[in-house]
A and B are shown apart, each in its own frame.
Chain A
């Protein structure tokens, strides 16, 4: 069964703690992405990676970090430096298409709540 899995579905953390969100895909896609979804703001790109061991900042990277050690995995760490971390986090992946972008496929998301 191919797809993108994100875990956990719900996550609670105390202020001042770092937390890591998991994203795994078995679609053999080269590119992976992390978005943050807030009500009324759509999806905003946090980080993306087009190839293993390489990643770029998106529009709202401050307070977040990522790694891409394996093609199928792209974990996101929400650090204590992120001022407003409570949100719904979506992971996506896509094949590359002649060096450009192709359709992105999304995981089920992780809802993070900071207490």
Chain B
């Protein structure tokens, strides 16, 4: 069965620190990849997505992610976090052809200290 693993469950950083959140998936075929963010009290919203093309994807608010097919990974990065980045982050994967089945990781809670 397909699965998505996010290695860090709870991350605490100071403002201006760099961020990298890990995401690995288990599926050997072609995939679509997503990072969603849930700010406190707000809807789950899309940060960025990868369907094809350049494996380095840029999203909103200065976030980016790199798809490394050989490592089955899609790690999220931001060079300098802000207090407003405090949120829960979810990686999600869809196996192409598996219509409607979006598999989410467990989520990573990021706390940024001012």
Residues of chain A having any CB pair with chain B under 8 Å? 31, 33, 35, 40-45, 48, 50, 56, 58, 90, 92, 96, 99-101, 103-109
Q: List 7 A-B contacts (CB under 8 A).
A: A42-B6, A42-B107, A45-B101, A100-B96, A105-B46, A107-B43, A109-B43
Interface check B104, CB cutoff 8 A: yes
Q: How many angstroms between the C-alpha atoms of A43 and B34 in the bound complex?
A: 13
Chain B: how many interface residues by the 8 Å CB criterion?
26
**A50: B residues at CB distance < 8 A:** 99-100
* A-side interface mostly: strand
Residue of A nearest to B10 (CB): A40
Q: From residue B88, how far is it (CB to closest CB) to chain A in Å?
A: 10
Say how far A89's CB is from chain B's closest CB, in angstroms.
Answer: 12
B96 touches A103 (CB 8 A): no
Binding site for A on B (CB under 8 A): 4, 6, 9, 32, 34, 36, 43-46, 49, 90, 92, 94, 96-107
Say whether B90 contacts A103, CB under 8 Å. no
Interchain nearest-CB distance for B12 vs A (Å)? 17
Q: Would you call B99 and A101 a contact (CB within 8 A)?
A: yes
The docked-state distance in angstroms from the alpha carbon of A90 to that of B6 is 20
Q: A90-B44, A107-B43 are in contact. Are A43 and B100 (CB under 8 A)?
A: no
Asked whether B97 lies within 8 Å of A45 as measured between CB atoms, the reply is no
Are the CB atoms of A45 and B105 closer together than 8 Å? Answer: no
**Residues B100 and A42 in contact, CB atoms below 8 Å apart:** no
